[in-house]
Chain A
Amino acid sequence: MATNLKPVDAVIVGFGWTGAILAQQLCDAGLNVLALERGPWRDTPTDFAPTFAQDELRYMWRHHLFQNLTYDTLTIRNNADQEALPMRRLGSFLLGTGVGSGGVHWNGQIWRFLPTDFLTRSHNEQRYGKKVTDGLTVQDWGITYDELEPHYDAFEKLCGTSGKAGNLRGKIQPGGNPFEGPRSDEYPTPPFVQTYGPTLFGQAAASLGYHPFPHPTGNLSQAYVNPLGAQLGKCTYCGFCEKFGCGNYSKASPQTTVLPYVMAKPNFALKTESEVLKIELSGDKKRATGVTYVDTAGQEFFQPADIVILSAYVLHNVRLLLLSGIGQPYDPKTGEGVVGKNYAYQTMSSVNVFFDDKLMNPFIGAGAHATVIDDFNGDNFDHGGLGFIGGAYIAGMITGGRPIEMIYTPPGVPAWGLEWKHAAAKYYLRAMNISVHGSSMATRGNCLDLDPTYRDALGRPMLRMTFDFSENDRKMTDYLSDRAGEVAKAMNPSAVKVNKRTGSWNVTPYQTTHNTGGAIMGTNPRDSVVNKYLQSWDVPNVFSMGSGAFPQNAGYNPTGTVAALAYHSAQAIVSQYLKSPGPLVQP
């Protein structure tokens, strides 16, 4: 029997980026806020001090900061004809846990989606005809770039983002991304200085007529104090960003940007190691009364709240909606229902470039240290006759030279033996990677639901993921990988290896932790779970944050858009919902 606790105004489920942003916004509005985080507290000096942060084995390969699958995992399959089996080891994506969660061990790649990315169906059908979306269940987002622009700006300023504007209030700027939507302001700190490899990539891309620019980054080019008074330091290029915490306060994370401010608020409290089991509903299922959670001692508590913010990772948010009976579960057979619909991912490929005569020194790196071209992303190029929609950015990128993960060997070299060792010895310093970061379009069969067989350590059904790359995305990634290969060849290397994305989605090799969809946003309850304010259509005092809201995924890292949507939601809660609790959009 759960113990009843004193009510709060808002309970926040999961304390990563969106939980921290919502806590700050709602506390500033005077609400009494409690955040529940299933993992431990984490802070820079205790958990990722520079004396021990650069540990590839422990963080990358032993998953020290990631979700421990012993207690909770999901089941996976490529299609409905297969039986889903548990993901027994982390691989393709690295789920976070603990305070800050993925915001601790991300790369710090901060992007805005293109204006046309929010109009995936209508824009592409208008330009290329209705046939172009055949076989896809892509949707418009129900929100525009212009509505999100101020919130993108707010997140970039929170993080101290280093970059160069390419489009300031409609005027194209030299040195930035000319394809981006209009920005209201320049980046808060100057662009990241590039090492040799990304510089060569930029020169090669420019020689082919493309438009290279420095990747916008939350690894900071100079010291910065953000609007909440948090101080960040200049990045030292240690090369341990993604999968690692930053010991140097140089990477934007909840810890370095929001927590010093929000943790000091008298109307805020955080409970760690407290996992929410369920959102509890009123008898008519139209209102959430609070959440039930369990602590590590196995004690259950009912926490009453007027507002429930779901800000766990997308996969947990979707499962909590399903377990709580909020919204109609999606059925891929009929196409009816919404919760779990349009699960999407990211379609990644890469090109390795080798130089007999040049030192790349890959250990001098940072999470978003790259020179990028956006010429083949979204609808920045003519897709006529190509047979697909969407695209990718292509990045000459050096995130680090961590040798267990990042030794590239030329084509034909075996994975072990003397020949491998000699190639590793020769090319570790003389190779670099080009990343092709592609979109993922939704299909009818790619979805999330509850597994009928497997249960987690708390006895709840695991989430079941059914996913494979669509025909559309296979054509896209093939086309984009060839373009990346051409840029690689223009760098005058001694060898090039194009690693295309072939075959079905495989859970083992790391690809990216950009899972999206399942709690998608839209203009009406028939085809979406939440409205443009991330408010549940069915239970209007529940707001579901995160990339679960993406109706399909664009060719960019999602965090910028995730954060912008969170700010947009928080603003609506504070300025509209609190005055008149109820649906913010009438269906």
Chain B
Amino acid sequence: MNTPSLDRRSFLIGTVLAGAAGLGGAASRHDGGLGAPSETLRGGMPWMEGTADAPPGVSGTDFRFFTAAERAFIEAAVNRLIPNDDIGPGAVEANVPFFIDRQLAGQFGRGEHFYLGGPWKKGVPEQGYQSRYSPAQLYRAAIKAIDAYTAKQFGGKNFAALSESDRDQLLKDLEAGKVELEDGVDAKTFFTMLLQNTKEGYFSDPIYGGNRDMGAWKMIGFPGAHYDYSEWVTRHGEKVPLEPVSFKGRRGWREA
């Protein structure tokens, strides 16, 4: 096999970009398109040291997107979506609010894989997400609108101050699209995203900040990021006693 060659100018640009942007830059190289300069590849399978597409995990414990009031809303909501008990952790105990915060502060929050261009029309439900809001904007607008709604309905209280049963009922009404919210927020669209993000934070790899101590995986019996179950294939119906594993601590993965 010949030595793989790269167009030299592209290679230099690629190296500089990856170096300047660190791990985030390396990740965006691989993401979806328009991430890197064009390259001409010939003479074999190209491979470049130091470009592995390791996941952009999170570090620290500080909230970067939610205000204190928004954080109170999120904790009060996800606590009802997945409550805590002795069967397994609740969403708050699994650190889901922190997970959602970091998601909204990053690529997902900015809607980097969404098409958000205009014109913006409501369409029919079959046409799916039709908001101009990015996910971060939608959360910000929806929390404000829901707090305004509860203030009107419950004598000035915001959502976080409601009783568990009132919160449950309001979440059901949001889910059913029964609540009219201000600022063009579609209740059902927001609820759907909140529930999805809550389950994501509950069940995704702990490198993203949720699923604390892999508690959700332990509860259901998912062994996590194993890559070889060969010996268990024909052991039908047996309990697989593997402890769950995360990407954390593996070779090839480091915190951003």
Contacts and interface: CB of A to CB of B under 8 A. Distances in A.
A429 B203 CA distance: 15
B200 A193 contact: no
A528 B43 CA distance: 39
A272 B40 CA distance: 7
Contact of A270 (B42, B130, B220): B42
A271 B40 CA distance: 4
Contact of A403 (B80, B175, B216, B225): B216
Contact of A266 (B43, B115, B124, B228): B43
Contacts of B42: 263, 268-270
Contacts of B111: 70
Interface string A213-249: 0000000000000000000001011110000000110
A50 B225 CA distance: 9
Given A39-B32, A51-B252, A87 B222 contact: no
A426 to B, nearest CB: 9
B60 interface: no
B230 interface: yes
B110 to A, nearest CB: 10
Interface in A34-76: 38-43, 45-58, 61-73, 76
B37 A54 contact: no
Contacts of A507: 126-128
Contacts of B52: 45-46, 49
Contacts of A98: 30, 33
Most buried by A among B127, B229, B253: B127
Nearest to A235: B230
A428 B236 contact: no
A429 B250 CA distance: 26
Contacts of A387: none
A70 B116 CA distance: 7
B166 interface: no
Given A49-B52, A56-B203, A63 B32 contact: yes
A507 B35 CA distance: 26
Given A97-B33, A404-B200, A57 B208 contact: yes
A61 to B, nearest CB: 6
Contact of A295 (B38, B125, B217, B251): B38
B44 A264 contact: yes
Interface in A553-579: none
Contacts of B53: 46-48, 52
B253 A52 contact: yes
Contact of A83 (B121, B168, B250, B252): B121
B219 interface: yes
Contacts, number: 277
A296 B32 contact: no
Contacts of A384: none
Contacts of A264: 1-2, 43-45
Contact of B115 (A86, A272, A429): A86
B227 A54 contact: yes
Contacts of A239: 229
Contacts of B44: 263-264
Interface stretch (A139-147, A307-315, A359-367, A372-380): A359-367
A416 B195 contact: yes
B221 A429 contact: yes
A291 interface: no
Given A85-B123, A90-B113, A266-B2, A50 B81 contact: no
Interface stretch (B83-91, B142-150, B152-160): B83-91
Nearest to A505: B126
A463 interface: no
**For chain B, what secondary structure do more than half of its interface residues adopt (helix, strand, loop), or is it mixed?**
loop
Most buried by A among B4, B124, B229, B238: B229
Interface residues of B, number: 94
A60 to B, nearest CB: 10
A587 to B, nearest CB: 38
A82 interface: yes
Contact of A428 (B114, B204, B221): B221
B238 to A, nearest CB: 7
A237 B200 contact: no
A209 interface: no
A52 B55 contact: yes
Contacts of A196: 236-237
B36 interface: yes
A41 B37 CA distance: 11
A68 B32 contact: yes
B155 to A, nearest CB: 26
B82 interface: yes
Interface in B224-254: 224-230, 232-234, 236-240, 247, 250-253
Interface string A249-260: 000000000011
A296 B116 CA distance: 21
A482 B224 CA distance: 34
B83 A418 contact: yes
B20 interface: no
Contact of B39 (A57, A260, A272, A424): A272
B222 A363 contact: yes
A424 B220 contact: yes
Contacts of A42: 30
B31 interface: yes
Interface in A1-47: 38-43, 45-47
Interface string B55-93: 100000000000000000000000011110101100000
A58 B234 CA distance: 30
Given A359-B239, A506-B125, A403 B203 contact: yes
Contacts of B186: none
A188 interface: no
A237 B126 contact: no
Contacts of A428: 220-222
A358 interface: yes
Contacts of A65: 32
Nearest to B5: A269
A55 B113 contact: no
Interface in B182-233: 195-196, 198-200, 203-205, 208, 216-217, 219-230, 232-233
Contacts of A69: 113-115
Interface string B1-26: 11010000000000000000000000
B38 A273 contact: yes
A44 to B, nearest CB: 9
A82 B32 contact: no
B137 interface: no
A298 to B, nearest CB: 11
Given A39-B32, A62-B107, A69-B113, 14 more contacts: A46-B47, A46-B53, A55-B204, A61-B200, A68-B33, A234-B230, A270-B40, A296-B34, A363-B229, A401-B222, A404-B200, A417-B82, A425-B88, A454-B117
Sort A-B residue pairs by CB-CB distance and give the 6 closest, nearest first.
A68-B32, A428-B220, A51-B252, A57-B204, A295-B38, A196-B236
14 contacts: A45-B47, A52-B55, A64-B31, A72-B33, A86-B117, A88-B114, A195-B234, A236-B227, A236-B229, A238-B229, A359-B239, A416-B171, A428-B220, A507-B126
